[in-house]
Structure 1
């Protein structure tokens, strides 16, 4: 993509499967996921084949200077441009990568995909994700009490939302 705003975001390809699986199975990434089991290569490949065939799904790689540093999944869940997102960075990504990834994804979501709203969720103990959502301008829209059971304990899930209009208004202040 040649657009200035998407230079750090590209579509995930089969060539990325091994890297993304390695990141996803890393203990520091996996501990914040809703599904915590180690994913097999077969399961991962089936997931990719199924999800990448769905036009409402956008599997993306965040990269800097041709080095992949993060994965993003945007899922258009309702008519009118309402989508959920999920993401993680490479376990060895430099400090600040999550913030940069977030800004790049918001540009992509609101300027390329023309979404109306982007929604996110974070398990309550994932303080870094919660802080990142707030820093990016998401509003906390609610808490789903005891929504996630990790096999031993129940955890609250925080729900976030960011409207394109709010993002555009904030983005214009930067210029």
Structure 2
């Protein structure tokens, strides 16, 4: 289940984002400080082109989904997204794969059914082979790789996109 993040979620968002498995697959891999996180939340929580959602599994916070660069008044209606899970907690409970599939279903449904997007964009690091494979299962298409420098390292990033007509349809549709 996805719900809108609140001020009460700020600390857990930072804790989950700073888990080593999440930092390893992020463009910015450094540990986020309390001050940096507070500044991000102050902007993100009032940005009309952004939605920060909490992914809950069995009533427990299990991840965060970010939608950003939302162009809801444009044609086509577009937006970007990213997410991270409670890698440590889900692994401990043996729920990583089911949670991952569920959050991707919930997030793509939210993008196309709630936000009304025509196209959803994102990016994935080249070395994140497991996520790249899951993205393909959800019918995301990879674009040409781009080289960037972040946190003192060179990384290769693949842009990804999914058009609403190519998505896996929710059951019953």
**TM bucket by the smaller chain?**
0.7 to 0.9
1:147 deviates by 2.5
- TM value normalised by structure 2: 0.87
Unaligned runs of 5+ in 1: 1-7
2:156 aligned partner = 156
Of the three residues 115, 118, 122, the one matched with 1:116 is 118
| Aligned residue pair count | 164
Partner of 1:69: 62
Q: Which residue of 1 aligns with 2:85?
A: 89
In 2, the alpha carbon distance for the partners of 1:113 and 1:40 equals: 31
Q: Does 1:125 align with 2:127?
A: yes
Determine the structure 1 residue equivalent to 2:18.
25
- In structure 1, C-alpha distance between the alignment counterparts of 2:43 and 2:105, rounded to whole Å: 28
Would the aligned equivalents of 1:143 and 1:159 in 2 still touch at CA under 8 Å? yes
The corresponding residue for 2:32 is 39
Distance 1:173 1:21 in 2: 33
Q: Which residue of 2 aligns with 1:165?
A: 165
Cα distance in 1 for residues equivalent to 2:141 and 2:155: 20
Instruction: Output the CA distance in 2 between the equivalents of 1:115 and 1:76.
Output: 12
Alpha-carbon distance in 2 for matches of 1:42, 1:129? 30
User: Is the contact made by 1:73 and 1:86 (CA closer than 8 Å) also made in structure 2?
Assistant: yes
Tell whether the 8 Å contact from 1:123 to 1:148 is kept in structure 2 after alignment: no
Counterpart Cα distance in 1 of 2:53 and 2:62: 11
Note the alpha carbon deviations across 1:87-129, whole angstroms, 9 max, x for none: 1100222221112100000111100100110011011011122
Quote how far apart the aligned CAs of 1:164 are.
0.9
Task: Say whether the 8 Å CA contact 2:28–2:150 is kept in structure 1.
Answer: no
